[in-house]
């Protein structure tokens, strides 16, 4: 057992997986006030719990029935300070898997995700990766946005949370987990991971909700995302960027 301390989270590493033991994937899901749609999201994952997967839901202080909904549909229900980085790090701290899969509560995995991750990570000897993404909306513009997102991610080696990032336990722990920042934690972790190796880019797609794009407008959302990403790379504080995030 190895214990690392930092960023308000104590990460406990259980190194009990033998070399020839089957992979176990810990699916870590940060949530806050998702009661309305959470059951619909978690029910399709139940069959995977018998395929060497565990489901960990980390609530960030919901004021609705999120915890009641999640309690019967996951292996571990944790409560954390709000913030995706904090929540995902806390989920990783109690996870037993050899691979951590970080999943947003509005992203649907392909039914063969377990085989895709374990076989391709082993075959290509990659310590981390992500999926291509499809947006749920039917508008043609979403198809263009998807292509741009997937191309950019493979070209730059940077993944986002919507792409269901996954990483081997020992690598995640070595890097200290997600940086404890209020926004862009996925980009920040990707930048550290790509120094070790470029991501495994699985072309099979996850489906992520386009509700934000539809609510605030496609072009407005595109421009804002570009502005936030550029500002982050130019050194703007994630706390300041969070105030501008939709």
Q: How confident is the model at residue 1 (pLDDT cuts 50, 70, 90)?
A: very low
Span 90-102, pLDDT tens digits: 999 999 999 999 9
Which tops the pLDDT comparison, 220 or 61?
A: 61
Res 5: pLDDT:
39
Evaluate whether residue 99 is within a structural domain: yes
Res 143: pLDDT:
95
Span 122-177, pLDDT tens digits: 999 999 999 999 999 999 999 999 999 999 999 999 999 999 999 999 999 999 99
Residue whose C-alpha is closest to residue 83's, from 178, 222, 3, 171: 178
Q: How far from 128 is each of 164, 171, 183, 233, CA to CA, in Å? A: 11, 8, 21, 22
- Mean pLDDT (the chain) is 88
Evaluate whether residue 245 is within a structural domain: no
Evaluate whether residue 218 is within a structural domain: no
Secondary structure of residue 77 in the 3-state scheme: strand
Res 22: pLDDT:
67
Structurally, the chain folds into a number of domains equal to 1
CA dihedral 170→172→173→176, nearest 10 degrees, is 160
Evaluate whether residue 36 is within a structural domain: yes
Helical packing angle, 218-233 and 140-156, nearest 10°: 10
- Residue 51 CB: number of other CB atoms within 10 A? 12
Percent of the chain exceeding pLDDT 70 equals 89
Domain extent for 174 = 2-210
Span 210-217, average pLDDT: 82
Domain harbouring 118, CATH code: 3.90.550.10
Evaluate whether residue 73 is within a structural domain: yes
Number of Cα atoms under 13 Å in the Cβ half of residue 160:
16
Span 103-129, pLDDT tens digits: 999 999 999 999 999 999 999 999 999
Evaluate whether residue 242 is within a structural domain: no
Span 29-61, pLDDT tens digits: 999 999 999 999 999 999 988 778 999 999 999
Res 12: pLDDT:
36
Evaluate whether residue 133 is within a structural domain: yes
Evaluate whether residue 95 is within a structural domain: yes
Instruction: Tell me whether strands 99-102 and 107-108 are parallel, antiparallel or unpaired.
Output: unpaired
């Amino acid at each position: 057992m190895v214990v690392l301390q930092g960023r308000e989270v104590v990460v406990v590493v259980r190194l009990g997986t033998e070399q020839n033991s089957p992979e176990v994937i810990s699916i870590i899901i940060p949530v806050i006030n998702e009661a309305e749609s959470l059951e619909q999201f978690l029910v399709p994952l139940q069959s995977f719990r018998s395929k060497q997967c565990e489901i960990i839901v980390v609530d960030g202080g919901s004021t609705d029935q999120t915890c009641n909904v999640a309690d019967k549909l996951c292996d571990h229900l944790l409560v954390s300070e709000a913030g995706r980085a904090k929540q995902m790090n806390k989920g990783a701290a109690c996870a037993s898997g050899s691979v951590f899969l970080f999943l947003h509560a509005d992203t649907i995995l392909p039914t063969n995700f377990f085989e895709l991750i374990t076989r391709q990570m082993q075959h290509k000897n990659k310590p981390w990766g992500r999926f291509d993404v499809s947006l749920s909306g039917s508008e043609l513009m979403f198809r263009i946005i998807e292509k741009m997102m997937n191309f950019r991610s493979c070209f730059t080696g940077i993944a986002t949370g919507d792409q269901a990032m996954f990483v081997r336990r020992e690598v995640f722990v070595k890097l200290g987990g997600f940086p404890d920042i209020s926004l862009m934690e996925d980009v920040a972790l990707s930048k550290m991971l790509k120094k070790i190796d470029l991501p495994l880019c699985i072309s099979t797609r996850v489906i992520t909700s386009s509700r934000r794009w539809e609510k605030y407008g496609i072009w407005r959302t595109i421009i804002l995302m570009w502005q936030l990403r550029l500002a982050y790379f130019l050194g703007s504080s994630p706390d300041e960027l969070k105030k501008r995030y939709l």
